[in-house]
Amino acid sequence: MSVPRLTPVSYMVLGLIENAGEATPYQLKAFAAQSVGNFWSIQHAQLYTESERLAKAGLLDEHREEGGRRRRTYALTEAGRAALAEWRAAPATELGELRSLGLLQLFFGAEKGPLARAQLESHGRKLAEYEQLHAAAADWLPEGQRLALEAGIAHEREWLRFWRAVGDNQS
């Protein structure tokens, strides 16, 4: 019940469980993989440890299957709901970081041509994936999730512009 530090990952878990009503860590993994994981990925193992941690802190309610796999299913407690609401109500001012390996290589003087080609390939693929997702899901997705997806699309387009420019004026 003691309240440990809540990290972005904590809120991710709380938020995902709020969306789902209740879920096992394994299910969270699947939800995350095709949504929030696209811009904030985490290790699957962490979903297990984080859920447990949040349960210990009284923010999640845990109950476990009797037989078989003994799956743990989690749901929000009132305290969990409150913590999530409180976090949402305090707009973040922090900025993300690009953390692009390709950009790092460029920064340290890698050859532009091959690097641009490699990155264009990857970003092109990712953009196509996002666009397909958007076409399929845009009108039933909650607005925040749709907007997040659109942010992802916009940044992928920006990366394509960028690497195209890098690749063009090189040899």
Number of residues in contact with DNA, rule: CB under 7 A?
24
Print the binding letters for residues 37-56 with DNA: x by CB under 7 A, - otherwise: ----xxxxxx-x-x--x---
Regarding 90 and contact with DNA (CB under 7 A), the answer is: no
Regarding 104 and contact with a second copy (CB under 8 A), the answer is: yes
Q: DSSP for the chain?
A: -------HHHHHHHHHHHHHSEE-HHHHHHHHHTTGGGTS---HHHHHHHHHHHHHTTSEEEEE-SSTT--EEEEE-HHHHHHHHHHHTS----------HHHHHHHTT--HHHHHHHHHHHHHHHHHHHHHHHHHHTTTS-HHHHHHHHHHHHHHHHHHHHHHHHHHT--
- List residues near DNA by CB under 7 A: 4-5, 7-9, 24-27, 41-46, 48, 50, 53, 67-72
Q: Which residues bind a second copy (CB under 8 A)?
A: 8, 11-12, 15, 18-19, 35-36, 38-41, 84, 87-89, 91-111, 114-115, 117-119, 121-123, 126, 142, 144-145, 147-148, 150-152, 154-155, 158-159, 161-162, 166
